[in-house]
């Protein structure tokens, strides 16, 4: 359907292309009119379905609308390079899919390099309770016999194995097990008295 100028009284209807040819400027402007009309027709007929397609891909309605609008702008700008104008809708769909992929790639990169949030800081009460518990354990350890205290500290604070503890203390592995078991029992009894 060619664009027609409004009828003036007593003149014949003139096609825009005929007017442009008569003036010698048919090349660029006639194609621009065709691009405007075609893109307008495609936009009104397919915009919503293309936005739904993009929204399914990018999972965000606002971004989907931007993707589709960018695809229409690109198609309008490249209308002259379009080999088969009948396949413009296919071109638009492919453009929407490609632009949606680009959005998803960009999101992945942003998420990958986003600064990590700081861990939640413990409350002042938790810090105070932790300090009391540590001081209670240190106080209870100081009340244990020397060998039991050494065995417990090397086992649970230094995280040494029984063989390493035996070598450090100069005793057998059996003696390490015995001192550790007795020390844990005595430590438990002392801590129960504090609480």
Q: Where are the domains of the chain?
A: 33-113, 133-194
CB 35 within 8 A of CB 76: yes
**Residues 121-164 pLDDT 10s:** 777 787 777 787 788 888 888 888 989 989 998 888 888 999 99
The alpha helices in the chain, defined as continuous H runs, are 16-23, 26-58, 61-77, 88-112, 124-142, 146-152, 162-169, 173-194
Measuring CA to CA, how many Å separate 193 from each of 132, 144, 181, 185, 188?
14, 14, 19, 13, 9
pTM greater than 0.85 (yes/no): no
The C-alpha atoms of residue 67 and residue 144 are separated, in whole angstroms, by: 72
The C-alpha atoms of residue 19 and residue 46 are separated, in whole angstroms, by: 31
Spelled out in words, what is the top-level CATH class assigned to the domain 133-194?
Answer: mainly alpha
pLDDT at 143: 86
SS3 at position 15: strand
Average pLDDT value for the chain: 82
**Residues 55-104 pLDDT 10s:** 999 999 999 999 999 999 999 999 888 888 888 999 999 999 999 999 99
């Amino acid at each position: 359907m060619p664009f027609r100028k409004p009828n003036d009284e007593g003149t014949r209807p003139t096609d825009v292309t005929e007017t442009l040819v008569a003036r010698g400027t048919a090349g660029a402007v006639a194609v621009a009119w065709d691009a405007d009309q075609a893109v307008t027709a495609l936009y009104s007929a397919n915009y919503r379905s293309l936005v739904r397609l993009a929204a399914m891909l990018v999972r965000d309605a606002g971004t989907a609308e931007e993707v589709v609008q960018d695809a229409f702008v690109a198609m309008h700008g490249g209308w002259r390079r379009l080999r088969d104008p009948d396949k413009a809708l296919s071109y638009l769909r492919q453009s929407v899919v490609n632009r949606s992929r680009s959005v998803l790639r960009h999101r992945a990169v942003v998420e990958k390099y986003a600064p990590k949030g700081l861990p939640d800081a413990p409350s002042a009460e938790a810090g105070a309770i932790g300090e009391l518990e540590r001081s209670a354990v240190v106080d209870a350890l100081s009340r244990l016999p020397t060998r039991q205290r050494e065995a417990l500290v090397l086992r649970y604070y230094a995280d040494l194995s029984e063989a390493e503890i035996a070598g450090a203390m100069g005793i057998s592995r059996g003696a390490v097990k015995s001192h550790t078991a007795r020390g844990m029992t005595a430590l438990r009894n002392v801590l129960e008295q504090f609480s």
